[in-house]
Amino acid sequence: MATATLTKNGMINLPIEIRKKLKLKSGDKITFIDTDDGILILPLLKLSDLVDPKNKEITIQMVKELTAEHKLDAAKGR
């Protein structure tokens, strides 16, 4: 179980094990989703994360699949 301390300015440092698990690095953006079971923390993907390096097309289907996965994870509290 990872813990962090909230500063008087409302800031926290994410513990290293969480940053590693989510593959977060300096400058990455994350989102907080309020669920019935608690707060879900997800890294925000960049459009470039959706692109296959061999096929530079971003399709609507890829975006729909990613959105569905995020909704499912949020519903499951992940």
Is pTM beyond 0.85? Reply is no
78 pLDDT higher than 80 = no
Task: Give mean pLDDT, residues 39-65.
Answer: 75
Rounded Cα gap, residues 58 and 64, in angstroms: 11
Task: Determine phi and psi for 73, rounding to 5 degrees.
Answer: -60, -40
Task: Give mean pLDDT, residues 38-55.
Answer: 77
Task: Determine phi and psi for 74, rounding to 5 degrees.
Answer: -65, -40
pLDDT for the residue 7: 96
Computed over every residue of the chain, the mean pLDDT equals 84
pLDDT for the residue 14: 92
